[in-house]
Structure formats: structure tokens, C-alpha cells
Structure 1
């Protein structure tokens, strides 16, 4: 197994364990066992549990951001916004454990470098939404006085919260219904 595959197995194991029992309660032994590797492999790849956690956040946030960027590529601004909202919902639906880990651990002071994760989310994931909103304002599709930074954070947070609510409490609801309701809310608020 190559280094990339090993790291991805370690990430998958760590995400599940930390989401289920928390960062502090999760041990390197548990992560190694769940990934099917020796404990030394964790240290060889990351150096420490804290470094693994930071790398895990980087990896997950980068994957989310890449998914949002890809969804917006080549679309007109409002279509890009709709695609990004759908992509965020789908990503959280597919990676619910990672989303729960972000909520549970990233903003808790004991969960590692939460400022680093918050900064990455702002620069990368929320940054994609800000770019889409900026393009829509420039194209005259959204109101000129829109505070793009706050609006982008609000869109990201709203979609994130609704996605977790959907996956946790209403998993039988089709993604398309959740997406349509979010877009109705956004069109009404952002367009003015």
C-alpha cells in the first residue's frame, strides 16, 4: 500500500473515531487498529495525534473546497451558486462523519488547532462562495450593496447546518427537496 493510500485509510479511521467519541478520547492505537496499520505508521506519517488531526482537517476542507470549485466552474453566477449549494449538501451527505467532526471538534478549544481550521474554511470553502457571489454582483444578478464576506459565510453556514439536520433528523427527504428550499431562501434574501 502506498503512502497516499495509507494516509487516506488513517484519515478515514480517524474521522469515524473522532466523530464518534471525540478527539481527546480517541487514541493513536485505536486509529491504527481501525486503519489496519501498526501504531508506528501513524507516527511515521504524521508525527503525533495532533498533527494527524490538523492534516485531517486540511485534507477534508481541501476536498470540500475542490468540490465547491468544481461545481461552480463554467457556470453563470446564479447557476454557479445553485450548483455550489447542491455540491455542499451532497458533500456533507457523503461525508457526514467529517462534517460532524468539524462541528464537534474544530471550534472546541481542546480539539486541536481550531483557528487554523476556521481560517481554512474561510479562505477555501467560503472563499469559493464569495467568488460566486462577487461574480453575481458584478453581473448585476444580485444587489450591489451585498456584503459579500458576510453573505458567503451565511450561505456556507446555512447550508452546512441544514445538511446536518437533513442527514441526522430527516434522512428520508430527497436531497433535491432540501436543495430547492435552500435556493428559494437564498434567492429571496440575496437578490433583494
Structure 2
């Protein structure tokens, strides 16, 4: 995915910052322009509507997540691959908590114009986790559901960590998430 720079990047960054404070509904294009330090016309030149702006922001974020999962899995299989993916996702969340919050808030909404595109990119990210599950447990017919559960647990667990226990290391949080997912809590 090509990197966005310049005015477009400033607009996306401003929109993300404002959405993390006010939500998407509470963020106006004028607010984005002011925060980005550009004319309102520049915002509309780069993004024809607020929906297009936030769609781009979410698609870029989940696309980056899919690439992070793909790279972290490279050359690994089974539990080692899953542990690497969980840690990489937590590092990504740590590096951009506002985006993680936005994704968590929007991923399950069905009333947004961008939902179809967002679900397509989400499936791409989950496919990386599904691959690991199917390598280890090809008999499981529910690999997609399991991948979604892992994705959700890491996303929400990562936000929980940064909001309430930021003193913990990525490794500690990764180990906690993996232990929770291991089934040993109910054994």
C-alpha cells in the first residue's frame, strides 16, 4: 500500500486525532481543516466527503494491520506464528492507540457507507490468522470465527492495556493474551 504524505497525510492525522476525541459523528470537515492547518477546500479536494475521509483512514489502518500480521507470520508456523502475530498486533496498537480505538468502534457497525470495504480488508487481515489455525488444526471448520475471536481479543486487550496498565510491557501483555486464548483458564 502506498504511503500517504503531505497535505493528505496531515488531513488524515487530524481526522484521526479529532475522531479519537470526539468520535466520527462529532468531527466536522471544518474541524479537520483547522487541526490540519489547511483550507476547508483542501480537505474536500483530497476527500470528497467525511465518509470518504474516514473510509480511507480505516482502510489504511486495517491494511497496515494485515501487512503487519503477514510479515510477523513470515517463516513461522503454529504457536510460534500466532505468538508473533499477537505481539506484532499489540505493538501496532501501542504505536497508534487512536487508530485502534477507531477500528474497535467502527469494525462492527453496519450503518456506515464504508462497511463493505472495511469488511473486505478485515477479512484480508483475518486470513493471516486463519492460515495459522488451518496449518495447526485443519480439522476445525470454524477457523474464521476463531481468527475473529483472536483479532477481537488482541484489539480490545491492547486498548485495555494502554488505557489501564500502560506500565506493562508488550511481552507481558502478549503472554497474558496468549494464556487467555490457550484454554488453560478453564482447565
Is TM > 0.5 for Structure 1 vs Structure 2? yes
Call closer, same or farther: CA 1:46–1:31 in 2, change over 3 Å.
same
Trace 1:1-192 onto structure 2 (pairs within 5 A): 4-108=5-109, 112-121=113-122, 123-138=123-138, 144-145=139-140, 147-188=142-183
8 A Cα contact 1:53 1:112, kept in partner: no
Call closer, same or farther: CA 1:120–1:80 in 2, change over 3 Å.
same
Q: Alpha-carbon deviations, 1:34-75, whole Å to 9, x = none?
A: 122221111111111111111111111111111111111111
Deviation at 1:132, TM superposition (A): 1.7
Q: Alpha-carbon deviations, 1:120-144, whole Å to 9, x = none?
A: 21x1221211112112225xxxxx3
8 A Cα contact 2:104 2:156, kept in partner: no
Further displaced range: 170-179 or 2-11: 2-11
Match of 1:141 in 2: none
Call closer, same or farther: CA 1:64–1:4 in 2, change over 3 Å.
same
Tell me the number of residue pairs that the alignment of Structure 1 and Structure 2 aligns.
Answer: 183
5+ long unaligned stretches in structure 2 = none
- SS at the partner of 2:182? helix
Call closer, same or farther: CA 1:18–1:112 in 2, change over 3 Å.
farther
TM-score by length of 2: 0.87
- SS at the partner of 2:76? coil
TM-score by length of 1: 0.85
Call closer, same or farther: CA 1:94–1:3 in 2, change over 3 Å.
closer
Call closer, same or farther: CA 1:186–1:108 in 2, change over 3 Å.
closer
8 A Cα contact 2:104 2:155, kept in partner: no
- SS at the partner of 1:44? helix
C-alpha RMSD of matched pairs (Å): 2.3
Q: How many Å separate the matches in 1 of 2:78 and 2:147?
A: 14
Call closer, same or farther: CA 1:3–1:73 in 2, change over 3 Å.
closer
